[in-house]
Structure 1
Amino acid sequence: MIIEAVLADALQNNVQWCATMCRAHGLSEAALGPRAWTSPRRTPLYYPDAVTLTADAEARDVLDGIDRTTPGASVKDSLARLDLAPEGFRLLFEAQWIHRPAGLPGSAADAGAAAYRPVRTPGELAAWALAWSGGDADEAALFRPELLDDPATTIVAGHAPDGRILGGAVLTASPRVTGVSNLFTADGVPASAAWSGVLAVADPALPLVGYESGDDLDAALAAGFEAIGPLRVWLDA
C-alpha cells in the first residue's frame, strides 16, 4: 500500500509538471479528470498530450481529450496498462517510476567540480537550456522564462568554476513529494555527479520521485532510488 500511495503521488506530481510546462507555452486548457489528464491542444515538444492516472483508465479516457488532426500526439500510459496499437499508436519507450525516501543521506558520489544551485534569471535559464539540449537552440527554446515564475518549480544547474554548466535537473514540489525530471550532464560528467548535486539542493524532508530508463535508471538506483512500477509512452503515427 505504501508503494501504491507513493506511485499515485508520483503520477500527480508528473502531471503537475506537465501542466506547468504547458502554461509556460500559453496552453491552459488541459483537463484533469478522474482517470486521466488531457490537453485539447498539442503540447510542447517531448511532453505528453495525455497522462493516465489510474489502473482502470481506458483508451477513450485519453484519446477523446486530445488533438489527433496531425501525427505526433503522445500518451503517457502511467501504469503500462493500455494497448494503443489498435488506435494507430506505436510504443515509443518504456521506463520505470522511481522513488527515494525522505531522510536518506546524500548520494555516495559527489558533484565533482560543479556547484549546484537554483537558476534565478532568464539568462541563466537560457544557458541551462542550451546545456540540457546539447547546444540545440530549437530544443532549448522549450524552457521559457515563465517557468521561473512558478513557485513549485526549481530549475537546478551545476556550475563549473569557469562558469560552464556541467549538469542539472528540474524539481517540482507538491504536498507530499518532490519530482525530479530533465536530469542531465555535460562534458562527460557522470550522471552520479548530477544526482549528488541535485540531492544536495532538494528538500530532504520530502521523498523524491520521477522516472528513468536504461543507464539513467541504473544511475538513479545507485543514488538511492528504487523502481516502483513501469510506464509506457505511446506516439500517434
Structure 2
Amino acid sequence: MIIDSRVTQPLAAAVRNNADWCDAVCRSHGVPGAVEGGVWASPRRTPPLYPDAVTLSPAATPDDVLSRIDLSSPGASVKDSFGSLDLSAAGFEVLFEARWIHRPATEPAPRAGGWEPVGSAGRLHAWEAAWSGEGESEGLFRPSLLDDGAVFLAATSPAADRVTAGAVAYPGAGVVGISNLFAAAEADDADEVGEAAEGPDAAWRCCLAATDRLWPGVPVVGYEHGDDLAAALRQGFEPVGPLRVWLRTDG
C-alpha cells in the first residue's frame, strides 16, 4: 500500500498495518477491497464496525474516498487516518476522534503473563463472546483470520475456562498492530481475571508481554482515545498522529 512520503515512519506503519487488518476482516466476509489514489476502499458495505474506506495519504480528497464507496444508503463509514478530511457536505458526521500510537521496540517488555493465542474456531467464538460484553458471538471474526496472520490473544479463567481479557494482534508493515483490547468489567471471583481485572493498564501489560514473546524486538502500534489512550501512554506508547472516523447518517 502507498503511504505519502511526508508522513513519519511510525505513523505510516500504524496506518498501513490498520488498513491491512481492515482488509483482512473484509476479505474474511467475502467483501473485496482495493487501494487506489491513496485510499483503501470497498465498493460494497463492509462488516459492522469496519470502515468502507481508509485513507493512506493526507493528500487524499473527499472525492477520492466518496467515489469508491456505497452511498446508496446511510451507514457508510470512513477512517480519515490523518484527520484531514471534511465529509460533512456528503451527509457524514464525526463518530469519534483518536490518536495513532506507537511503542518503540527499544521499550522494555512488561513482566506479565497469562495471555495466549486462540488456536481454534471454537475458542475464537468464545473470545468474540467475551469481547462483545454481551456474552454472545455474532460471527464478526471469522476462523479464516487465524490463517491470515491474525493472532487473537486471550486470558482464560482457570476456574471457569472462559475468556476474561484479550486483544487482536496483527503483524505487518514492520510492526504489530493491536486492536480490540478488552478486559472483563466484572467477574464472579476477582482472582479469575487476575491482573486484567485491574483495568486497561494491566491489560496492556499482559498484551505487551505476549507480543514481545511472539514478536521480540518488533514495535507495537494501534489507536486509542480517552482513558484508553491515557492507559496506553502510561505503558510506553507515544502519540504519532490524529485520526477521525466519519459515519454517514444522512441520505
TM-score scaled to structure 1, two decimals?
Answer: 0.92
Q: Residue in 1 aligned with 2:191? A: none
CA deviations on 1:82-119 (whole Å, 9 max, x unpaired) are 111111100100000000001321237x45xxx10000
Aligned to 1:200: 209
Root mean square deviation, CA, Å? 1.7
Q: Is the 8 A contact 2:55 2:81 kept in 1?
A: yes
In structure 2, what is the equivalent of residue 133 of structure 1? Answer: 132
Residue 71 of structure 1 aligns to a residue whose secondary structure is coil
- Aligned partner of 1:143 among 141, 144, 154: 141
**How has the CA–CA distance of structure 1 residues 50 and 3 changed in structure 2, closer, same or farther, with 3 Å as cutoff?**
closer
CA distance in 2, matches of 1:38, 1:23: 12
Q: Distance in 2 between matches of 1:136 and 1:69?
A: 33
1:222 and 2:217 aligned: no
Contact 1:103 1:204 (C-alpha < 8 Å) held by counterparts: no
Q: Which ranges in structure 2 are unaligned for 5 or more consecutive residues?
A: 187-196
Q: Which amino acid is 1:82 matched to?
A: L
> CA contact under 8 A between 1:74 and 1:236: conserved in structure 2?
yes
Match for 2:77 among 57, 74, 77?
74
* Unaligned residue ranges in structure 1 (runs of 5+): none
SS in 2 for 1:221: helix
| Residues 1:34 and 1:3: Cα distance change in structure 2 (over 3 Å) | closer
Could you tell me which amino acid in structure 2 is paired with residue 232 of structure 1?
A: R
> Structure 1 counterpart of 2:182, which letter?
F
Alignment CA distance shift 1:58-1:3 (3 Å): closer
Q: Which amino acid aligns with 2:157?
A: A
Q: In the alignment, what sits opposite 2:8?
A: 4
Distance 1:7 1:178 in 2: 13
Task: Give the counterpart of 1:164 among 146, 159, 162.
Answer: 162
1:123 and 1:12 map into 2 onto residues whose CA distance is: 30
Q: How does 1:33-52 map to 2 (within 5 A)?
A: 33-52=36-55
Q: Deviations over 1:168-225 (max 9, x none)?
A: 1111111411100111111342112211111122113111111000111011111110
Deviation track 1:53-80 (CA, whole Å, cap 9, x = no partner) reads 1111100111111011111000000000
Hey, what does 1:191 align to over in structure 2?
200
Question: C-alpha separation between the residues in 1 aligned to 2:238 and 2:57?
Answer: 21
- Which of 108, 125, 148 is equivalent to 1:105? 108
Q: Give the letter for the 1:212 counterpart.
A: E
Identity %, equivalent residues: 50
| TM-score normalised according to structure 2 size | 0.87
